[in-house]
Structure 1
């Protein structure tokens, strides 16, 4: 049965999983091990606390934290309370996070304490003190199949079509929250034992729900419509300005029931989730898919090859989606032979070039039964096409498979007409998973979705005679850095804030480790002595690491055509 019909909402899925798989292990996070029944109890408590915090159906609730049990619990708790989840990229700097919080008018934020040596709370304070919320320029990184962003989600205020403005008073009066320049953000909960005076600790937040009756939590969960938005995934297009793709409960459930079936995810599988939860793929093909099938989630906050090898061996991992670079690193690790990887049986990858040799090595050296590739984007729920079990290695390596059930793919020429097999054109997608629209962006939504429901992906592709899709280029000039979508227009916008930069263009260049990285071609302002190292160092302070150009070349001027558009093909040819 279709996921949307079986469970109705993500809240229904959580409750059903807690009952059906009650004694099975649900999450392993360090020394903490929870059964599905225990996970259900924790999510209910988080939902009660969300109600106690005054969150109403359709309110936006953001999570800015790495892959941990706390992320799973606070996110599912918010969604089960009827809130719309807004995941934030853990690579964001404070200014980037503040923009998405401001744009979505999130009323509640769950944030990690210190991660990778950075205090997210301090970073957010600095950004909002400088008015950073208004600057923008942050991209979520898109949805990911296997951790690589793939090509690229309201009741109570956020219009389901992404077009109607929400009531201005929804988020509270200006200046009443802990961060005055984010007037709608009423509460910040730090997922730690300590928090600044005007924020709340996770423990204090949960305690606030102890007076909320269990029946009130059940009523709220039962009231969630399948057509209500479940999440808003912020991603950036050619303008460089982040836009939020609105996806409903029904869409999320149907998409990842399909994904679980095609991938062959089973009850009892043990799933190492390296794909970030802030990506559609980490959250939905990870957490939601495991809930659907009764698989065990083993979240890993940061990809480290040694840690992954140790986790696979110690936890008898059977499922490991991730970008090609992840699997290549495992295969090439000098200590691989010291770890028992024999339980691995399912790998899903994609969104980047997948070498045929990688597919063959996974099958022959690691004895992985199923290796699949797939393609999707946030605006289509994260999944468009997927290989099938039994496909030959050359199909898996060279294509992203065929359209998933309920999906149409068209290769369109410049006038929107369908091209025959073998013709290269823009990939158009139509089906149940196409977003409701960009959050409160009717003009952008109209540009992205045709009147008859086709989503223009901005990717160039080719369909073969069997319907297998091969992505050949990116109309939007996006490139993928180690699994993260990087958008040149957005990076250019940020680099343009440097006082010594008069003009700048960014293109993706090959990199042996990350697949692609950014190279900036810049024009200095007169009299400037800015160096490449200076600009790269400045970039590391101002933007997420995957966006930082790894190379800078200064030019007297950028090549442009008669209409003034930068000729990026000439820059790439350099």
Structure 2
């Protein structure tokens, strides 16, 4: 299903890369004013698949630790990791899975996740990352959306019992032989693999999968790599799905490998030890974390199966981590926990943040409280294999505070208006990108693919963006999140960044809410420092803080103080839930949160 040949549209570049002058515009004489840039880069793209990249890492960094799972007390070097991956890959083939078949990985951050993704890649299969928080109906959708043939999962995590959920939605499981499942509801599903010490009816234990093949069959996996084309599908990422069912973005080996290399280059990951707080199923986990570390021989440290700031801090200390990966919300929690624990964190070279816009105040907190030497930002989409813009090594603090980074190597970017016409540099519009990293398409959804990926291969991001002549970019806001208040266009991020600088505020998220007179008004959801009385966060205090610093129409009319924010597993704020919370808060019969009207 996933092994269709990719039709490549190549664009010949007639300019050579010359050191610092690698940033070039390929437009006409109007290039000096048009928001179009192509960052050629110094290092050429490579042509290899994910399995070959892992093989290269084992050759280059063999005895270096590749993966440390603190919560499982397990360690792998790059060499031992490759051997284990090939055991799994050979086992999957022994089960009858064929080139292009989809293997779902439904798990939090266990070593099983890494082995599953790499094993699928080495076997010529397509891994499908599934949110470990998904329940029965969501799993039904995923299983059928991409015709999943085998699924890997742990037995339990927190209150989640993965086997029971699968058995409930697929009753035939309990009556079938392992590897021979036949389900009317899921006609493609054949195998359920559970990482468990006990035998479960109809399921294969993860250890049994590893023991299915012999040495000869495992050796065949290495020979298979030359037959797996880099353009072929490697992984499916489900989008957040905050409005309706999530879409299934299909990504190639070529984009995975090259994005990983260029993320690793920018973040100078050679020999570093990375504290991994982000979920592995997400684009941040597979692209920015797994593939970048593999390219540069960096060690991945998994503090816990799910994000826990205390576990992260302890892992940083015990494993001497020099780099941290996390979303802004995770860093907010990490900073708050370190203020309480005051652990000796050692020398942390950089904190890499992505997945959502980061406020200038949080950047300062990370550097001061966590004693991080540099904060690097990465920006991209699931549909772009993770990274489009990212920080440059050694850049000044003002760059991190005000930009999402510099255009990544071998990527074109342009900014267009609502009619699709290019705008001058420095003016806002929608960011469109083109290059090796764009998805192959949404699986089984041609129309949705056409909406975001044009025939000329320009990918429309949906982000309101400003591109500077030096290659740096900044997000103004999401086009869909823009608030129109009495004819004034307001992007919530600007207001959020300002309110986050308030000394009593930890984190702010702003949404548009209905208003009979103005059409929309602003409501700010605010998380305060633990020692601040919510009742002290008064109308008068907020107005005074905003006076002379923020235009009157940008001052939120409503403020709701909260203890936590609803987030996806990948750390993104679910603003549609904030709207529901606003409605509940201001309903005359409900009083679920402290609220003031400004």
Q: Does 1:410 align with 2:414?
A: yes
Q: Does 1:225 align with 2:233?
A: no
Partner of residue 512 from structure 1, selected from 518, 523, 527: 527
* C-alpha separation in 2, matches of 1:223 and 1:186: 25
Higher gyration radius (CA): 2
Q: Does 1:343 align with 2:384?
A: no
Aligned to 1:323: 327
Q: CA deviation at 1:307?
A: 0.7
Q: Is the 8 A contact 1:373 1:397 kept in 2?
A: no
Distance 1:227 1:115, change over 3 A: same
Q: CA deviation at 1:510?
A: 3.2
Aligned to 2:301: 298
Equivalent runs, 1:267-416 vs 2, <5 Å = 267=271, 269-299=272-302, 300-333=304-337, 338-416=342-420
* C-alpha separation in 1, matches of 2:469 and 2:355: 21
Q: Does 1:216 align with 2:257?
A: no
Q: CA deviation at 1:236?
A: 5.3
* C-alpha separation in 2, matches of 1:435 and 1:226: 13
User: What TM-score does the superposition give when structure 2 sets the normalisation length?
Assistant: 0.71
Q: Does 1:5 align with 2:43?
A: no
Partner of residue 250 from structure 2, selected from 246, 249, 252: 246
User: What TM-score does the superposition give when structure 1 sets the normalisation length?
Assistant: 0.74
* C-alpha separation in 2, matches of 1:362 and 1:460: 26
Distance 1:124 1:388, change over 3 A: same
* C-alpha separation in 1, matches of 2:191 and 2:44: 33
Match of 1:255, SS?
Answer: helix
Q: Unaligned 5+ residue runs, structure 1?
A: 131-174, 481-485, 489-506, 515-538, 556-572
Aligned to 2:176: none
Aligned to 2:102: 60
Partner of residue 43 from structure 1, selected from 76, 85, 105: 85
Match of 2:423, SS?
Answer: coil
Distance 1:125 1:552, change over 3 A: farther
Match of 1:42, SS?
Answer: helix
Q: CA deviation at 1:332?
A: 2.7
Larger RCO of the pair (alpha carbons < 8 Å, separation 6+) = 1
Aligned to 1:525: none
Distance 1:513 1:65, change over 3 A: farther
Q: Does 1:75 align with 2:117?
A: yes
Distance 1:329 1:16, change over 3 A: same
1:41-90 CA-to-partner distances (Å, cap 9, x unmatched) read 11111111011011111111110011111111122111110001100011
Aligned to 1:443: 447
Q: Does 1:120 align with 2:148?
A: no
Q: CA deviation at 1:189?
A: 0.1
Partner of residue 549 from structure 1, selected from 577, 580, 583: 577
Match of 2:318, SS?
Answer: helix
Q: CA deviation at 1:326?
A: 2.1
Deviates more, 1:189-198 or 1:312-321: 189-198
Q: CA deviation at 1:101?
A: 1.4
Deviates more, 1:300-309 or 1:361-370: 361-370
1:297-354 CA-to-partner distances (Å, cap 9, x unmatched) read 1123211111111110000011101112222322232566642212211111134342
Distance 1:20 1:237, change over 3 A: same
Distance 1:73 1:82, change over 3 A: same
Equivalent runs, 1:252-267 vs 2, <5 Å = 252-267=256-271
Equivalent runs, 1:132-171 vs 2, <5 Å = none
Match of 2:421, SS?
Answer: coil
Distance 1:511 1:207, change over 3 A: farther
Q: Is the 8 A contact 2:149 2:188 kept in 1?
A: yes
Aligned to 1:161: none
Q: CA deviation at 1:238?
A: 8.3
Match of 2:372, SS?
Answer: coil
Q: Is the 8 A contact 1:22 1:36 kept in 2?
A: yes
1:399-454 CA-to-partner distances (Å, cap 9, x unmatched) read 21221111122111111111112322211111111111111322222221222211
Distance 1:222 1:509, change over 3 A: farther
Q: CA deviation at 1:226?
A: 1.0
RMSD in angstroms over aligned alpha carbons? 3.3
Distance 1:282 1:197, change over 3 A: same
* C-alpha separation in 1, matches of 2:283 and 2:141: 20
Aligned length: 462
